[in-house]
Amino acid sequence: MRRTIGTVLYAFHILLHPFDGFWDLKHEKKNTFSAAFVLLGIVVFAVILRFQAAGYLFRPEIAENASLVLNILTVIGPVVLWTVVNWAITTLFDGKASMKMIFIATVFSLTPFLLFYPQLVLTHVLLAEEGNFIGAIDIFVGLWTVMLLLIGNLTIQEYSMKKTIAASIATIVGVAAFLFLGGVFYSAVSQLFSFFATLIMEIQYW
């Protein structure tokens, strides 16, 4: 357990030393898989706070009707999709990382969301006109996360930056294609169930 917590805390070292950090995460650190789950749980909790505990003026509109499950899926869904699709793509690109390692690196790339969560407090003291400050922090955190995701992928796959960017773009396209096909399949299945439900009702009243 102590090693797991130590590896979770190592995420803050990765913030400033991503190349060495991700390399050590892959080759030196112990209990990285369990640490990734702990860290993911902390990120999920932080996102729930952002949705539900932010000041009224800065609370996302979706938070008004969002369930706890939806808040959780907001984090876990993209992580799982990115992990699976990236593993499939990098396998074709001669990548050196397993799906497990891609998952670990992806989760540790989310650390900036924790470092700048004091902005949650600002949502309770700033006026709506001062919201650009929080927006600027969100953009900075997002860019830092993307940078860590790229460096993490580069390090664990032992890629060049050019190859990393190509694989990342291919992963984004793959995720978009999966979501599109998933939406089409869901729509088709929903219509099919609706048709059979209507047909059964018609038979009952016939």
Give the C-alpha separation, 9 to 164, whole Å.
26
pLDDT at 120: 67
Give the residue among 116, 138, 134, 139 at the shortest CA–CA distance from 124. 134
- 3-class DSSP assignment, residue 59: coil
Amino acid occupying residue 139:
I
Per DSSP, 128 falls in state G
Q: Is 149 exposed, middle or buried (0-12, 13-18, 19+ CB in 10 A)?
A: buried
pLDDT attached to residue 152? 93
Alpha helix (H) ranges present in the chain? 2-9, 11-16, 18-27, 32-52, 68-92, 99-108, 112-115, 119-122, 131-157, 161-205
Q: What share of the chain is helix, strand, coil (3-state, %, to 5)?
A: 85, 0, 15
Is residue 31 within 8 Å of 4, Cβ to Cβ? yes
Looking up tokens 């390399």 gives: 23
| Cα-only R_g, the chain | 21
- pLDDT, residue 58, reads 62
What lies within 8 Å, CB to CB, of 33 at 6+ separation is 100, 103, 104
State which amino acid sits at residue 110.
L
Judge whether 122 and 133 are in contact, CB under 8 Å: yes
pLDDT given at position 206: 61
Report domain extents, the chain.
2-167
Name residue, tokens 């209990």: 31
- The pLDDT score that the predictor gives to residue 117 is 62
For the chain, 206 residues long, give each residue's pLDDT as a single digit of tens: 767 788 888 888 898 899 988 998 888 877 688 889 999 998 888 878 777 766 666 665 555 555 677 778 888 999 999 999 999 999 988 888 899 999 999 999 999 888 766 666 776 666 666 667 777 877 888 899 999 999 999 999 988 899 999 999 999 999 999 888 888 877 777 777 776 667 677 666 66
pLDDT value at residue 102: 93
Residue 31's region, left for phi above 0, alpha for psi from -120 to 50, else beta, is left
